[in-house]
Amino acid sequence: GEQGALAGRHVLVTSGPTHEAIDPVRYIANRSSGKQGHALAAAAAAAGARVTLVSGPVAIPDPEGVETVHVESAREMLAAVEAALPADIAIFAAAVADWRVADATPEKMKKDGSGLPPLALIENPDILATVAHRQSARPALVVGFAAETQNVIAYAQAKLARKGCDLIVANDVGGTGVMGGDANTVHLVTRDGVENWPTLAKQEVATRLMAHIAGLVPVRTGV
């Protein structure tokens, strides 16, 4: 058959939200649907790659032809990502919770009249930054997403530098229902500049992004 642009490559994708436990029945989450990340994993598989998708809790099916690893929390996601390395390309599309509850309780919290629970938060690991800064088994191309409601390009440029990744796909999630919706308006931010894309279906963003990314990874020589 025809060889895809990513034949012989291992592509790792994170997708969806994370759930951070408060107690056994409650959690902190966000509005990520996983649609963009899952579409990227499917597009990478369609381009001939071996794909590992590490997904937080989502309501959409596992993409066909993709090895999908299901996780809940940011810490579980980091462990699954590290277990999936090495990869040629890593794309971090998950909306990872920035914070988790410091002392998630093993039993359900009760309204016992002793006041409101304090819910102290602590920082989660940054999965993208951890992988991008690895000394060994760093993927040749590390791609991050940046969902912003203002100063989209400036924040993305700062994020590119701080997180040590090669490309940031920035999108404006202010107002118009990008999170959970089917369309996305993205800006590709690298050290060399910014490429603005028109509003497209998330499927189309995924297909075009995988073609773009395939053109960025170093060409394999020899066998």
Annotated binding site for CTP: 98, 108, 125-128, 145, 159, 163
Q: Cβ of residue 217: shortest distance to ligand C5P, in angstroms?
A: 18
Q: What x/- string results for residues 68 through 97 when contact with ligand C5P is judged by CB under 6 A?
A: ------x-----------------x-x-x-
Cα atoms in the 13 Å half-sphere on the side-chain side of 153: 10
Q: How many residues bind ligand C5P (CB under 6 A)?
A: 14
**17-50 burial by CB neighbour count: b if 16+ within 10 A, else e?**
bbbbbbeeebbbebebbbbbbbbbbbbbbbbbbb
Q: Cβ of residue 74: shortest distance to ligand C5P, in angstroms?
A: 5
Binder among 69, 80, 84, 127 for ligand C5P (CB under 6 A):
127
Binder among 12, 28, 89, 128 for ligand C5P (CB under 6 A):
128
Q: Which tokens in the block code for residue 141? A: 């191309």
Contact window for ligand C5P (CB under 6 A) among 22-30, 103-111, 140-148, 196-204? 140-148
Binder among 45, 84, 90, 126 for ligand C5P (CB under 6 A):
126
**162-200 burial by CB neighbour count: b if 16+ within 10 A, else e?**
ebbbbbbbbbbbeeeebbeeeebbbbbbeeeeeeebeeb
Nearest-angstrom CA–CA distance, 71 and 51: 16
Q: Which helix (H) or strand (E) holds 27?
A: strand 26-28
The values of phi and psi at residue 153, to 5°, are: -70, -45
Q: Cβ of residue 136: shortest distance to ligand C5P, in angstroms?
A: 19
Is 184 one of the catalytic residues? no
Q: How many CB atoms within 10 Å of residue 106? A: 8
Binder among 124, 171, 184, 203 for ligand C5P (CB under 6 A):
124
Contact positions toward ligand C5P, by CB under 6 A? 14, 74, 92, 94, 96, 124-128, 144-146, 159
